[in-house]
A and B are shown apart, each in its own frame.
Chain A
């Protein structure tokens, strides 16, 4: 569908004559009732999660298996073979990174095809379109919640303690959810137009995995430069990395640098924060603009 070829006028209600009922304006991102948006998002996410949960005999274990296997491989590699593990509670450190990245990858990767996967809904009923990518993110959030419990268990097993800073975790998770939702909104409608968004996004996720201090410490890149910019700045510009660093600092051990410390300056935190905000705002506007036409373009 060409963007610039023909401009499509939006519906123009002539006047709000009281003698007529409420105007039907076609589908939108948010719909008329936030409650309905929430009900739908919740119901869809819950159903999907339940299906994944009860789909096989081992149910939830399989859900957990993917991040755990990845974690296991890297743990063996870095602790016993490369002997690179230097930080405190390295197991929990690594697992925290894997679990959070798994969330981002599941939420955004699932959102890419979400509108197409739910074609039968999108083409058959009117509902706030935003519920579709949000449900994907919410479903991934359910998994994240369970996976974080495993992180905590691991942390205790390695000798970690409960700290007050754990209270930051819900806020950090919320920030992460916002970032994933922003990406999900852009990716889901982009995929409706361009089918190669999916392989591209897979590559981007792959890059993001190695470009995040998941198995290495951020201090490893200290002193390296890329295109004349400090490598740590480049890494930390990614909101995911900033949230991850802060989570490790708050949950795993305060010996890991906080996001601000990792950047080496208070105001520099505005860079990932700005990008975070931009992704959400742009994501919403793109989605809102496309939402009325998704049903016709599928």
Chain B
């Protein structure tokens, strides 16, 4: 197939913009009354200068977050939207599956719906009738042919729709997340079918926001963000880039929210004297056994806060940043740094990182405890570290003293976003300063085992009798 034939899909400097009227002028009356008024229009650049070429027989993935333009691009490719500038060239019979079962009508039996859907997808009614049997066979719905579609289960409907879809023997398939529906077994069947289609020399273009699908199936992938092409190439790398983008964006949004929340808090509480510092977190390893020291002074006191915070240039607080403790000391800054001692928000799997927290004491404190916990997206405490078992004890820290505590670790965390809680506590557990969600960091990595953590491991597979020291067949990490 790799002769001089043109590539199956060529996208050449495509731009697409949408005009979104601020106030939708929908009535003739307004038109007649204000014939010359130009309605205000917001221009949304859905696609900016997108160029790529697919190769023959390639499984090409397009990944991006909601609103990144991936569906718009697919619709341009499918010919549903006209591009503004640039051009798209297709070489071969193309079939688009932006939605399963386009044109399905619930009041008609499967037979009519298959013919209807097949016509919509580009078959002639005669071809549709001819392939009807193989459609039903593939869908395994032989006994339900004359059942109205509204009596089908969702799974049956999906199977029927998918079976029609693959009957359109296309050389180029455009697929938009249709596989999000259906059970796991059927999804697997779908992917097997795509594999078969691909091995027959067809090219598949697959749009999704599911990175794992990209990594599993695609030869190459492209990352879109706000209508721009951000990355193109190895699915592995594109996938990581996507993850970073995703989390950093989340973090930015969280920061905005936190800032707004803090503002609101300041407004509401500007006159009050810190109430409600409860101080106990029963699940926390650093939690005190006894009751909390009654919150004499909230650390969120605006005066001290504003005096201390400017140093926090690099931190990215999480959404629900909150704080408790008696304020005998304050955590004034915290960050992660890599082995070159540079601050970072992104931690790569398997590398070494150091958490650094800066604490300033306002009262004398004897044998304080310093610690952090890291929580993954599901709020599991995946990692906790403190000096609670450290010997000898640290002794007394005097008022005004500033210390830095460092926690060095090898990053075995699974890729995810982590919320970092930092704490200083009295011996015995009462909080001095406990900052929930003080930091938010992203862990990225190429290995996704699915476990809670990515512990380094060796795997060996041996033939024959168990022999403890024979040659490993395969090893990872």
Other-chain residue from A43, A122, A193 in contact with B125 (beta carbon distance below 8 A): A43
* Set of chain A residues within 8 Å of B85, measured between Cβ atoms: 9, 11-12
Q: Mark A1-13, 1 if CB is under 8 A from B, else 0.
A: 1101110111111
A92–chain B nearest beta-carbon distance, Å = 35
Report Cα–Cα, A196/B41, bound state, in Å: 21
- Asked if B102 and A120 sit within 8 Å, CB to CB, the answer is yes
A62–chain B nearest beta-carbon distance, Å = 15
Identify the closest chain A residue to B90 (Cβ). Answer: A21
Other-chain residue from A26, A193, A200 in contact with B83 (beta carbon distance below 8 A): A26
Interface size on A, residues (CB 8 A): 51
Identify the closest chain B residue to A295 (Cβ). Answer: B80
- Asked if B105 and A51 sit within 8 Å, CB to CB, the answer is yes
The stretch among A109-117, A123-131, A155-163, A179-187 that forms the contact with chain B is A123-131
Which chain A residues (254-298) contact chain B, with CB distance < 8 Å? Answer: 292-293, 295-296
Using A2-B19, A47-B108, A124-B99 as known contacts, say yes or no to A296 and B81 having CB atoms under 8 A apart.
yes
- Asked if B108 and A51 sit within 8 Å, CB to CB, the answer is yes
Task: Answer whether residue B6 sits at the interface, using C-beta atoms and an 8 A cutoff.
Answer: yes
Using A19-B6, A125-B98 as known contacts, say yes or no to A24 and B89 having CB atoms under 8 A apart.
yes
Which chain B residues (359-379) contact chain A, with CB distance < 8 Å? Answer: none
Identify the closest chain A residue to B98 (Cβ). Answer: A124
- Asked if B75 and A11 sit within 8 Å, CB to CB, the answer is no
- Asked if A193 and B88 sit within 8 Å, CB to CB, the answer is no
Task: Answer whether residue B122 sits at the interface, using C-beta atoms and an 8 A cutoff.
Answer: yes
* Set of chain B residues within 8 Å of A197, measured between Cβ atoms: 28
Other-chain residue from B25, B31, B80, B115 in contact with A43 (beta carbon distance below 8 A): B115
Report Cα–Cα, A126/B98, bound state, in Å: 10
Task: Answer whether residue A224 sits at the interface, using C-beta atoms and an 8 A cutoff.
Answer: no
Which chain B residues (272-299) contact chain A, with CB distance < 8 Å? Answer: none
Using A11-B85, A25-B79, A27-B82 as known contacts, say yes or no to A20 and B27 having CB atoms under 8 A apart.
no
| Residue of B82, B90, B119 contacting most chain A CB atoms (<10 Å) | B82
Task: Answer whether residue A225 sits at the interface, using C-beta atoms and an 8 A cutoff.
Answer: no
- Asked if B79 and A2 sit within 8 Å, CB to CB, the answer is no
- Asked if B26 and A125 sit within 8 Å, CB to CB, the answer is no
Which chain B residues (1-22) contact chain A, with CB distance < 8 Å? Answer: 4, 6-10, 12, 18-19, 21
Other-chain residue from A4, A5, A8, A35 in contact with B124 (beta carbon distance below 8 A): A35
* Set of chain A residues within 8 Å of B21, measured between Cβ atoms: 1-2
Task: Answer whether residue B76 sits at the interface, using C-beta atoms and an 8 A cutoff.
Answer: yes
Identify the closest chain A residue to B39 (Cβ). Answer: A2
Other-chain residue from B7, B18, B76, B115 in contact with A24 (beta carbon distance below 8 A): B76
Other-chain residue from A12, A121, A194 in contact with B28 (beta carbon distance below 8 A): A194
Task: Answer whether residue A40 sits at the interface, using C-beta atoms and an 8 A cutoff.
Answer: yes
Task: Answer whether residue B398 sits at the interface, using C-beta atoms and an 8 A cutoff.
Answer: no
Q: Which residues of B line the A interface, CB within 8 A?
A: 4, 6-10, 12, 18-19, 21, 25-29, 31, 38-39, 41, 43, 75-92, 96, 98-99, 102-103, 105, 107-108, 112, 115-116, 119-122, 124-125
Beyond A43-B125, A195-B26, 10 additional pairs, beta carbon < 8 A: A2-B21, A2-B39, A4-B38, A22-B89, A22-B91, A39-B125, A121-B103, A121-B120, A126-B79, A295-B80
| 17 examples of A-B residue contacts, CB within 8 angstroms | A10-B82, A18-B6, A21-B91, A21-B92, A23-B87, A23-B88, A24-B89, A25-B79, A26-B80, A36-B122, A39-B119, A47-B116, A120-B103, A125-B102, A195-B27, A295-B81, A296-B18
